[in-house]
């Protein structure tokens, strides 16, 4: 009995052999065509198709209506936003005008007080001038 030792090199050669080829299996045959429908079923299929078409038509009208309402809501929201922005702009302008008016009044009041001080220096402390000074 002879024991043949396989060298490491031979083992490597054996493991790197290409895998065995698979046999050519033909593709499965195409399924047979469906049998023609039973003539008694045709009216049922026709009714179902008509119902589906009607449902689709109603669904399509509903989508169109909802799209129109959504567009209207977007327009209303944009209009409201524009109106709100215009209103805010008007309020800001009013506030600016009020602040400018207040500043003018303060300057005028300071000028009046300065004139009052000049008058008091010239005329002295008249009772009417003291009253005006106390009000301010």
73-122: pLDDT as tens digits: 999 999 999 999 999 999 999 999 999 999 999 999 999 888 888 877 77
- pLDDT value for 112: 87
Per-residue buried b or exposed e for 114-131, using 16+ beta carbons within 10 Å of the residue's own CB: eeeeeeeeeeeeeeeeee
d(CA 124, CA 118): 10
Q: Which pTM was predicted? A: 0.39
């Amino acid at each position: 009995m002879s024991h043949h030792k396989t060298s490491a090199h031979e083992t490597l050669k054996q493991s790197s052999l290409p895998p065995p080829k698979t046999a050519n299996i033909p593709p499965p045959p195409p399924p047979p065509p469906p049998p023609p429908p039973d003539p008694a079923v045709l009216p049922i299929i026709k009714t179902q198709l008509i119902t589906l078409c009607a449902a689709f038509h109603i669904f399509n009208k509903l989508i169109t209506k909802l799209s129109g309402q959504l567009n209207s809501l977007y327009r209303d929201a944009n209009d409201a936003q524009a109106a709100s922005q215009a209103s805010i702009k008007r309020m800001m302008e009013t506030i600016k005008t009020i602040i400018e008016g207040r500043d003018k009044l303060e300057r005028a009041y300071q000028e009046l007080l300065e004139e009052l001080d000049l008058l008091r220096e010239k005329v002295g402390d008249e009772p009417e001038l003291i009253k005006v000074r106390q009000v301010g």
